[in-house]
Amino acid sequence: MFFASIIIIGNITNYFDRSSKVREGQEKAKIEAQMQMIKNRIAKKKQEKAKIEAQMIKNRIAKEKIEEEKKKVNFEASIENHYNKLTAVFNSKNYDEATELLDPFIKYNLLDYKDIGIIRRKVTIGSLEKKVKTIPASKTFENLIIYKKLSELDPSSSLYKKNLLIMMLYI
């Protein structure tokens, strides 16, 4: 009887061990399923966040385009005032300020307005002439580059050609 009791106890223990292992396995599977659900939710939230951020970037870009278009329309609406200011500054030989005033004409592709293209060329020439005067003659290569640009801007100028040739001889 004692052996029968031990066998029964052993069988019961074995049963409980198997049941316990089954329950542990079920609990583990349940926890893993919950973890997977959490991971899926996190991934979904990340995707939603990325979509929102992308939409915010698109909105910001669209807003910037609208603002830029407003600036262009405002500039075009008062283009004659801008032109008059530019010509006054240009005539006073203030090439640095004239360059700044030319920027919106260039930016908004309005170089064909009146004689803006000619003014731009002359401002560039004036700026380069001013710059070349500040460069020592010993810096031959820098002078050569500027005289080459000047010669391209005003091919009829014998002074630029002469100085370009002189600089080429020293290199």
Which residues, other chains included, contact 141 with Cβ-Cβ below 8 Å and sequence gap of 6+? 167, 171
pLDDT tens digit string along 19-69?
A: 667 778 788 888 898 999 999 999 999 999 999 999 999 999 999 999 999
The rounded distance, in Å, linking the Cα atoms of 50 and 43 is 11
pLDDT for the residue 140: 87
Q: 79-91 and 95-107 are packed helices; what angle lies between their axes, rounded to 10 degrees?
A: 150
Single-letter amino acid code for the residue at 91: N
pLDDT for the residue 10: 53
The rounded distance, in Å, linking the Cα atoms of 68 and 156 is 39
pLDDT at 9 over 60: no
Task: Band the pLDDT of 151: cuts 50, 70, 90.
Answer: very high
Single-letter amino acid code for the residue at 100: E
pLDDT for the residue 26: 84
Give the pTM.
Answer: 0.64
- 28: its two tokens: 């583990």
Are 132 and 162 within 8 A, CB to CB?
no
**In the 8-state DSSP scheme, what is residue 135?**
S
Mean pLDDT of the chain: 88
Are 110 and 82 within 8 A, CB to CB?
no
Q: What percent of the chain has pLDDT over 70?
A: 87
pLDDT at 14 over 90: no
